[in-house]
Amino acid sequence: MVNLTLRVLSRPEFSQLPRIFQTLGLEYDDKVLPSIGNEVLKAVVVQFNADQLLTKCPSVSALVRQGLVRRAKDFNFVLDDAAIMHLLYGAEFSKAVEQK
């Protein structure tokens, strides 16, 4: 198991604020960002094995950012930045690495 912490800096598309409020409400960011964040993270992470997540972290972050930019547009969000901030492997993987 791998736990990732993702930092996302986003803002609503100013011209679409009335539409965003009507469809998603005032807590629009709490409804959209966790959902698309998990969706994109899962889609990207599945492409790499555990070792590659660490060695290719900049590439993984770039793919996550690209995916989030695309998905955020669907909800009238502008994504200013996204990056993997913390990567933690589960106990089994950590134990296997220690045994090597």
- 45-69 per-position pLDDT tens digit: 999 988 888 889 889 999 999 999 9
Q: If you average pLDDT over residues 6-33, what whole number do you get? A: 92
pLDDT-derived band at 99, boundaries 50, 70, 90: low
Buried b (16+ CB within 10 A) or exposed e, 57-90: eeebbebbbebbbebbeebbbebeebebeeeebe
Percent of the chain at pLDDT exceeding 90: 61
Q: What is the number of H-type helices and E-type strands within the chain? A: 5, 2
Which letter does DSSP use for residue 27 in this model? T
